[in-house]
Amino acid sequence: MKRLIFIVLILAILLSFTACESHHQTTTPVETGKMPISMNIAPALQHGFNVTRVNVRITKGDFTDDMDMVIDSTTASGTFEELEIGTYAIDVEVYENELLIATGQGTGTVSPGQTTTVHITLQFVPGGLEIIINWGLPYEESRRVLFVGNSHTYYNSGVDFHVQNLLHEARPEWTIDIQAQTVGGYSLQDHYNNANTIDAIQNGNWDLVILQDNSEWPLLHPDLFYQYGAALDSVITHSGALTGFYMTWAWRYRPEMYIPTRNAYNYLGAYLDALVTPCGIAFHNSIEADSTIVLHDADFSHASLYGTYLVSCTFLASIWNINPMSNPYIPVGISHTVAAFLQEIAWTTVQNYNNGKSERTLDNLLRNKEFRISHPEEFTLLLAM
């Protein structure tokens, strides 16, 4: 009898220990993070809107949550708590009483111990027309701009030269200074290790520094592209400037370069929360729409004058939200008809890129042109997370 009782006790102890172990394993805390959001609503107020409600919804797989942000004077803010680590889709709705005045979409990533800034494009909703606005975009205030790159920047008198001329025609009242620091064949790694480049960035009092890597590096050496893009971004940020990236294009007979180049620049721009100017996408859209306009030089990799002008118009649209259509600056050698085509490609590419639509032919871009506003006023929404 005593032996039976002893066996029962041993079994009870073992079962109790197993249960404790099981309980311990199933209650290990899941790593979570916060998503604080602060939105500047002053631009909406300045344009006659009385913002009474800002609703933000986040979604990740089967999970969804939403909140009405607290409105305090010119700011709407709130925090999502105890979120699993990962990327969430974000939807924003802005109301004046019961009237929906703006909507927007974007993404945000929750990472432990880190803060991320996410730009979301809002659309006003007046009478069914979409007016693209960007509240809080900082690049429009850039007056001193430095391009850092290689021959893809300095070909055909230089992208900086053509951008300066386009901007002067569009905003003659501005005092602008656009320069370039270029060396043929250079990569971002080369520039980071070049004292002249670092000195130019640190001591130029720039508003914006735009980086252009060797056109093959995002394909052949993506690790170096990311590493030195981030390293130069750190130098630029510490100098007090903003960082931008100049997305290059696929070579004429290597169209397979397009997607990996595009994706690499998009990733690095998102990772660093930096501007990406979609020049490579503009090239792609132009060729899809009319391949008779030859954007490549005779070596099939560099830009022809047409290509450089398209790139320059894309920068005008991307950095300053200025529509290049009807801009009177046209380089000698380009007809007004071709210039108008390239201006339209640049503008529609940037507008669709900012709305997450990177591959569109000209016909698709202009299909509903009669319903679009030619010169919408543009502002900025900044979600600081």
Residue 127 zone, left/alpha/beta (φ > 0; ψ -120 to 50; rest): left
Beta-strand runs (E) in 227-381:
242-246, 275-277
Looking at residue 365, what is its pLDDT? 35
E-only strand ranges, the chain: 32-40, 53-60, 63-68, 70-72, 75-84, 86-96, 99-110, 117-119, 121-124, 131-133, 144-149, 177-182, 208-211, 242-246, 275-277, 382-384
* CA–centroid distance for 262 within its chain: 12
Please tell me the predicted confidence (pLDDT) of residue 363: 39
Angstrom distance (rounded) from CA 349 to CA 317:
9
Delineate the domains of the chain, giving CATH numbers in brackets: 32-115 (2.60.40.10), 141-366 (3.40.50.1110)
Q: What are phi and psi of 203, to 5 degrees?
A: -115, 15
Report which of 189, 315, 313 is spatially closest to residue 247, judged by C-alpha positions.
Answer: 315
Q: What are phi and psi of 117, to 5 degrees?
A: -110, 130
Q: Rounded to whole angstroms, how far apart are CA atoms 233 and 73?
A: 34
Encoded tokens for 385 = 């997370």
The sheet with strand 121-124 has its strands ordered as 63-68, 53-60, 86-96, 99-110, 121-124, 131-133
What is the C-alpha to C-alpha distance for residues 109 and 117, in angstroms, rounded to an integer? 9
Q: What is the pLDDT along the chain (385 residues), one digit of tens a residue?
A: 545 444 434 444 444 444 444 444 445 556 777 877 777 777 677 667 788 999 988 878 778 899 999 998 877 888 888 888 877 777 788 888 888 888 776 667 777 666 555 555 565 655 433 444 445 457 888 999 999 999 999 999 999 999 999 999 999 999 999 999 999 999 999 999 999 999 999 999 999 999 999 999 988 888 899 999 999 999 999 999 999 999 999 999 999 999 889 988 888 887 888 899 999 999 999 999 999 999 999 999 999 999 999 999 999 999 999 999 999 999 999 999 999 999 999 999 998 887 654 443 333 333 333 222 222 232 233 333 3
pLDDT at res. 143: 94
